[in-house]
Every structure is written in structure tokens, then in C-alpha cells.
Amino acid sequence: MKGTVTVKTLAKELNISIATVSKALNDSYEISLETKQKVWDLAKKLKYERNPSASNLRSHKTKTIAVIIPEIANNFFSLAINGIEEIARKRDYHVLIYQTHENSDTEIAFTDSLLSGRVDGILISVSSNTNNNEHFKELVKKIPVVFFDRVFEDIDAVKITTDDYESAYNATCHLIECGCKKIAYLFALNNLVTGKNRFAGYLKALEKYNMLYTDEMIVHYDKDTSKNYENIKAMVSNQKPDAVIASIEELALPCYYVARELNLNIPKDLKIISFSNLNTAPLLNPSLTTIEQPAFEIGKEAAGILFKILEKKYLEPNENHILKSRLIKRESTSCG
């Protein structure tokens, strides 16, 4: 790197010390406006770019945050990242993305490696296959972390979620009011409050209407995508539910294929409702009733709080921020 322009270059050129240059670049009050201007001008002219490693090594600020998510090819997480990025961009922060692909070991490897001071803070949406949260407990002691959407109950960190319980409750009620007598549930995120709350909302609605419920009506998410299709097909064939609630988007689409395969008409024979941020939901055949989470806002909120922690240097009380989801009724649950 011979041609690199550093503070030294600027200092030599302007005949001032490198300390002055550094302070000028950081707009320190110690430096006169006149000098600052000279430094700024030369820096622009020579296209000086601060070396991030050196800066970070000295200041312990990386201007970088990490986002750990299960999967990027999912509209909810893509939108959440958009929200995160918007906030990060404003503060000139960089965003490292890590995908766990729902693998707990990968998740642990990521969190471990982020302990090295590569980032100032971390945003996490937990992998569905993570059932042990010890590594998170260690993590939150050492670096600011904000969890969003997929969160654990007993971790001492800020958590941004949506009103999962109420959403599932309302969705189930919607189906019941449409006349559904047997509503199956596609369970995911068993280990997380997120998943538990959704299921609890479903149960609560059934209870309110004195509806029957058996374990056979529940299909649990499988890492193996093709298994999900098989399991749902088996359940629908055997149990013959007249409605299905998918707790995650990945479980809703197989339902469409299953319905086709079994010659079931949606919504006449089988109504479907799903937690989902698919932007093609209105264009599906038939259009899909969704519980749409404010993904973009969740990202913004989570990032905003992380920066608040980073700036104020104090950890917020372990309060939960809960945003509201929207139930959008479409053809897949039309009451005919």
C-alpha cells in the first residue's frame, strides 16, 4: 500500500502534527475552524479515507453491527433488514449479515466469533432449531444485543416482537366465525416465545368457542422442507380439517400444493391463513389471508434501540417492545 494517503500524509503536507489532523477530521473542539477547513479540503482533494481497522483498534468503535437471521430469502427478514439498514445508514454504520439457515451450531459459531470486537452490537432473530440459550446468555453480557421477532423468554436483553398471541387469537376467531369446525395448526418456533404465543392464541380461541382440539391436528415444522409437505399432506388426509393456520410462511405454501394434490378447493374445502409477509399473497391462487407483521418497522425499531444502547452506554431495562400485526383477509378464508 505505497500510495495510501493517511493522516501522516495530510500532516506532512500541511506542516502540522498528525494529532491535529486526526482531531480536525473528527471535528474536535480543540482545533480552530481555519485549520479544520484546511485539513478537510486536503482530505477531500487527496481522497483520504480513514482506515477503519486502525480507527477501531484505537477507539474500540467499529461502526459496524451484525445481523443474525435464519434466512435472507424470506420477505419478512429482507424487509426487516431494510429497516435495519435505513437506520444504520443514517449513522454511517456498516451491516454484516449472517444467516444461520435455522442451524443452531452455525448460530453459536457466529455469536462466538462476534465476541472478538468485530462489531459494536448485534441484532438477532433466533434460529428455530435453537433450544439452548446458554450462548446467548453469555453473549448479552459482553456486547449490546437486541432480539427481534424470534426471541427467547429468559434472556436479559431488549426484545422487539409483535402481538403474536392476539394475532393468532384473532385469526383463529376469524376462521371460527366463518364456520370452521376443525382448525389444524402448523407449529413452528416451538422453543421460542414467538412460537409459543402464537400457539397459545390459537388454543385460547378454540377454548373460547369450545372447539375440539387434538394433537393430531398439529404438524410440527421440519428442517427438511420436503418432510413438511409430506407431514401436512398426511395430517390433512387423515384429519380432514376445514382450516389450517400456518405459524410461518414456509408452512403455508406446502398447503397450496397439498390442496391441489388432494383435490381440495381453497377456501371451500380448506381455508388457509398464515403468518406471512409474502408480497405475492394477493396474487396467489387463491389469494392468501395473512397475518402480516410490520417487518420494516420491526427492523427500524430494533436497530433504533440498539443504537440508543450504543450511544447512551447504558442498557435499557429489559422491556419488551411489541408492535401490532395486521390480519389481511383474502380469498383463502372467504366465507363463501
Q: 127: closest CA among 244, 207, 221?
A: 221
Near its own copies by CB under 8 A, which window of 110-118, 166-174, 209-217, 316-324? 110-118
Hey, which residues does 183 pair with through a beta bridge? 243
Task: Select from DNA, its own copies, none the partner in contact with residue 85, using the beta carbon and a kind-dependent cut-off of 5 to 8 Å.
Answer: its own copies
Which positions touch DNA (CB under 7 A)? 1, 4, 6-8, 15-20, 22-23, 25-26, 30-32, 34-35, 48, 50-51, 54-55, 57-59
- Determine if 225 is a binding residue for its own copies (CB under 8 A): no
Quick one: which of 30, 105, 112, 216 contacts its own copies (CB under 8 A)? 112
Site size toward its own copies (CB under 8 A) is 44
Shortest separation between residue 73's beta carbon and DNA, angstroms: 34
Q: Which is nearer to DNA, 21 or 251 (CB)?
A: 21
Task: Select from its own copies, DNA, none the partner in contact with residue 35, using the beta carbon and a kind-dependent cut-off of 5 to 8 Å.
Answer: DNA
Instruction: Using CB atoms within 10 Å of the CB of residue 150, give its burial: 0 to 12 exposed, 13 to 18 middle, 19+ buried.
Output: buried
Q: Which is nearer to its own copies, 57 or 234 (CB)?
A: 57
Give me the amino acid identity at 179: G
Hey, which residues does 220 pair with through a beta bridge? 187
Window 269-308: contact mask with its own copies (x via CB under 8 A): ---------xxx--xxxxx---------------------
Other beta carbons within 10 angstroms of residue 168's beta carbon come to 27
Task: Select from DNA, its own copies, none the partner in contact with residue 79, using the beta carbon and a kind-dependent cut-off of 5 to 8 Å.
Answer: its own copies
273 membership: H or E segment, kind and range: strand 271-275
Q: Which is nearer to DNA, 3 or 336 (CB)?
A: 3
- Determine if 99 is a binding residue for its own copies (CB under 8 A): yes
Q: Show the CA angle centred on residue 232, arms to residues 227 and 236, nearest 5°.
A: 150
CB neighbours of 301 closer than 8 A, spacing ≥ 6? 83, 148, 160, 321, 323
Question: Which grid coordinates belong to 74?
Answer: 424470506
The DSSP call for residue 307 is: H
CA distances from 158 to 123, 146, 230 (A): 10, 5, 38
Please state whether the peptide bond connecting residue 52 to the residue before it is cis, i.e. omega within 30 degrees of 0. no
Q: Which is nearer to DNA, 25 or 253 (CB)?
A: 25
Distance (Å, whole) CA 318 – CA 219? 33
Strand locations in 151-246 (E): 158-162, 183-187, 218-220, 243-246
Shortest separation between residue 140's beta carbon and its own copies, angstroms: 16
Task: Select from DNA, its own copies, none the partner in contact with residue 253, using the beta carbon and a kind-dependent cut-off of 5 to 8 Å.
Answer: its own copies
Q: Which is nearer to DNA, 50 or 182 (CB)?
A: 50
* Residue 331 · residue 282 · CB < 8 Å: no
Shortest separation between residue 141's beta carbon and DNA, angstroms: 18
Task: Select from DNA, its own copies, none the partner in contact with residue 19, using the beta carbon and a kind-dependent cut-off of 5 to 8 Å.
Answer: DNA
Task: Select from its own copies, DNA, none the partner in contact with residue 62, using the beta carbon and a kind-dependent cut-off of 5 to 8 Å.
Answer: its own copies
CA distances from 178 to 54, 59, 107, 143, 223 (A): 63, 60, 41, 48, 32
Distance (Å, whole) CA 245 – CA 98? 29
Quick one: which of 26, 37, 51, 265 contacts its own copies (CB under 8 A)? 51
Contacts with its own copies by CB under 8 A lie at 1, 47, 49-54, 56-57, 60, 62, 64, 72-75, 78-79, 81-82, 85, 94-99, 112-113, 115-118, 253, 256, 278-280, 283-287
